[in-house]
Structure 1
């Protein structure tokens, strides 16, 4: 599946700083926002950790289709709580400190970020194969912790636990896997303490 950050398909990225402190809070924010926004095309929604003297928490980026950008922006302006910051190219909204966080989030993909929502994520329930991960979703690379150069056979089984959070690494959406029970593999990030917002699925 083609990444939206290929030169032929770059998308606008909206940065959001709503004061979320943890990955769990940011995941809930993403699912809540997308449930209300209902964009017409696939979205990449990522979390970004910030650890500075001024800001310790998690921001969000939403990569949307050009045709959705204005509508999503307007909806975010009206639905996000007071004090939240937004950034989209030269447009900003909110207090200066929150806008600074939103700008960092908007500038992060595809060099960094943890993807919560991305094309094909709904297919990733139960146990799937390595081929499913690469062919049916936007995930482009699978890495096994401790054996980064290993080539996984397409039929390799991966226990998703309904919680698959790949990361952007130098423009490539990459999923890190670890050995799991029964000779299977599983995503490095486990559902606890950042469960998958099942009520929003």
Structure 2
């Protein structure tokens, strides 16, 4: 990650709203391709989801800080932790449809793909059905996509695009 980072606390309580806000901010600020926008869960007295923006330069950081402050967002320097869930990152727009693991790694900032419940990495030719929703997480300085097995030897990202809210059928 970059030293040019800031945290945005907009009082968001769920990941879907945080994802939407990150996309909105990236568009409004006309952020360049090299930006990382992540979500971070904050626990404690006031549980919420905060956002971090990692920017490629100090002038861009200053501009983003000024514009976000003008919009009334609560900002703090740096990222809240090193384990953010990436929503905006280099190559994310090219991760649609079905791709091989090798394609995912070549087209995006994702450093590796892991498969839930296994210690081995998937073969480069293994197909990943992206469902147009690929949310890797930072782990020890690497951007890692966790996937799970699917039909026919394929993989899908662990995080589903439209999760069913808890107790939706009650």
Counterpart CA distance in 1 for 2:65 and 2:56 is 12
**CA-atom RMSD in angstroms:** 1.5
Q: Going by fraction, where is helix more abundant, 1 or 2? A: 1
The 5 Å alignment of 1:138-153 reads 138-147=109-118, 149-153=119-123
In structure 1, list runs of 5 or more residues that go unmatched.
90-105, 195-201
Aligned to 1:32: 24
Does the CA contact (< 8 Å) of 1:41 and 1:65 recur in 2?
no
Show CA shifts across 1:70-89 (max 9, x none). Answer: 11111111224xxx310125
Show CA shifts across 1:23-58 (max 9, x none). Answer: 0110111011111000234210000011102x1110
SS in 2 for 1:19: strand
Aligned to 1:173: 143
Counterpart CA distance in 2 for 1:152 and 1:167 is 17
The 5 Å alignment of 1:21-170 reads 21-53=13-45, 55-66=46-57, 67-80=59-72, 84-88=73-77, 106-108=79-81, 111-147=82-118, 149-170=119-140
Counterpart CA distance in 1 for 2:89 and 2:133 is 12
